[in-house]
Amino acid sequence: MRNNLQFYIDGTWVQPKGATVIDVINPADEAVIGQVALGDASDVDDAVSAARKAFETYSLTSNKERISLFDRIIAAYDKRANDLALAVTDEMGAPQWLSEQLQVTVGVAHFKIARAALETYRFDEPLGTSEVVREPIGVCALITPWNWPLMLMAAKVAPALAAGCTVVLKPSEIAPFSGTILAEILHDAGVPKGVFNLVHGDGRVVGNALTSHPDVDLVSFTGSTAAGIEVARTGALTVKRVHQELGGKSPNIVLRSADLASAVEGGVAQMMLNSGQNCSAPSRMLVHVDQVAEAISYAKAAAETWSVGHPSSNAKMGPVASEAQWNKIQRLIQSGLDEGATLVTGGLGRPDGLDAGFYVRPTIFACVRNDMTIAREEIFGPVLVIIAYSDEDEAVRIANDTTYGLAAYVQGERVAAEAIARRLRAGQVYLNNVNLDLAAPFGGYKQSGNGREWGPMAIAEFLEIKAIIGFRNAA
């Protein structure tokens, strides 16, 4: 049993003032695997106060001092890599291979990228007779979800610390274990007391206390668009800066010039990774009408290679993270059936032989219109829809016909694919099933959010800009 019953505040582990404790459920078998304490507003007050006090000195540290700190963080993280992988598998059901090869490695990558950026990052620069100074914004509340817990925590903590900010982190109460281990790592690395603080809790209480707190200068939130709207509304009461990385319904345009089999198989693989629990997942595959039948055949075959099983097995896919998520996915699959989409493979219920745990069948729908529910709502599960288009202009119109704009994908001849990419309203566009680039800025258009994470540009999101007028006037 993993019991996360303390919070990390001002450099030490403390007993929560909130009295609520909840069970943490293993999504692989629905067993209770631990408990987590949920904080309240007084816990948030303590954490924010510690962060505010620490900001006075940490904000004045040099690039060299922060680089040294990051070196220690990376070394401490590497020592706990196995513990982190086991925690992620337990808390959100990621297969062991996925936890080890991706969940853990992309987390430390964000610390490495931020550390490298500090080598050359210019916080001050001349402009006319003035000096433009980029200063840390202050105390930052970081609120993260459960689907890529380490990556999403590190993508916020690393640039915030690189910028000279102090933070209060609230991980998801559904997947709290990796957040606790991250706090242990930062403690072992010698992060000054109060610079990093961890408070477990739910969004209704702890999340709201953070976003409304008058001494929090910035909120960085990753989660659903509906929750993001509430975060923005609450943060507006104190005119604090709010970064949001929200939902997505990303198009994947397969041009006629693409190698169809490779494009479709790659799109299915990207969709099914992490049980489809990816905000940037290519969930709408757009295929030319003349190639749809062939694409359906390739998609069906590819999806059926995605074995589903217990995270300790060699299965490609584990469960989704919670019963609530499983129920949502089932509801949306049913809506696809009700609205007349053609079920190619997968469908309702658990895969055969998996009677416990929150497992979902890898599912493909064809004959989908872009106004169907399964083409509009973010499913956040292993469900891909195939939509036909007649020409490239229509493909672009369909791709952009969404309230979201987090990511987009284009497969095909390079020059044509690049031209299409420039027409898509999305924060990232992936060409020809390329891998992630964690140094590139990540964030969305429209209701997918605002601000950018990942890479050197993420540091700028945690800075204020000051102009010192007359700094360079002649004597």
Mean pLDDT of 200-208: 97
pLDDT of residue 337: 98
Q: Is the dihedral of CA 299, 404, 273, 112 positive or negative?
A: positive
CA pair distance 138, 135, nearest whole angstrom = 9
Q: Output the CA angle 145-83-156, nearest 5 degrees.
A: 35
pLDDT of residue 19: 79
Which residues lie below 8 Å from residue 51, measured CB to CB, with a gap of 6+? 139, 166, 167, 168, 194, 195, 197
Per DSSP, what are the bridge partners of residue 387? 286
Do 319 and 275 form a contact (C-beta atoms < 8 A)?
A: yes
Q: What is the H or E stretch that residue 189 is in? A: none
CA pair distance 206, 15, nearest whole angstrom = 15
The neighbour count for residue 195, using CB atoms within 10 Å, is: 24
Spacing of C-alpha 370 from chain mean position: 25
Per-residue pLDDT tens digits for 73-120: 999 999 999 999 999 999 999 999 999 999 999 999 999 999 999 999
Domains by residue range for the chain, with CATH:
2-246+448-468 (3.40.605.10), 251-437 (3.40.309.10)
Continuous H helices in 172-291? 177-188, 208-212, 225-236, 260-272
pLDDT of residue 1: 85
Per-residue pLDDT tens digits for 279-321: 999 999 999 999 999 999 999 999 999 999 999 998 999 999 9
Mean pLDDT of 2-25: 94
| Of residues 16, 181, 189, the one with CA closest to residue 91 | 181
Continuous H helices in 320-427? 323-338, 373-376, 392-400, 414-421
CA pair distance 243, 430, nearest whole angstrom = 23
pLDDT of residue 233: 96
Answer yes or no: is pLDDT of 475 > 90: no
Residues annotated as catalytic are 245, 279
pLDDT of residue 18: 81
> For 458, phi and psi rounded to 5 degrees?
-65, -30
Per-residue pLDDT tens digits for 120-171: 999 999 999 999 999 999 999 999 999 999 999 999 999 999 999 999 999 9
Per-residue pLDDT tens digits for 386-410: 999 999 999 999 999 999 999 999 9
Per-residue pLDDT tens digits for 223-261: 999 999 999 999 999 999 999 999 999 999 999 999 999
Per-residue pLDDT tens digits for 322-375: 999 999 999 999 999 999 999 999 999 999 999 999 999 999 999 999 999 999
Mean pLDDT of the chain: 97
The predicted model scores a pTM of 0.96
Do 463 and 163 form a contact (C-beta atoms < 8 A)?
A: yes
Identify the residue whose tokens are 């690393």: 158
Q: Characterize the bridge pairing of strands 284-288 and 241-245.
A: unpaired
* DSSP assignment of 111-136: HHHHHHHHTT--SEEEETTEEEEEEE
474 pLDDT band (50/70/90 cuts)? low
> For 376, phi and psi rounded to 5 degrees?
-105, -45
Answer yes or no: is pLDDT of 428 > 60: yes
The neighbour count for residue 163, using CB atoms within 10 Å, is: 26
Longest distance between any two alpha carbons in the chain, whole Å: 82
pLDDT of residue 4: 85
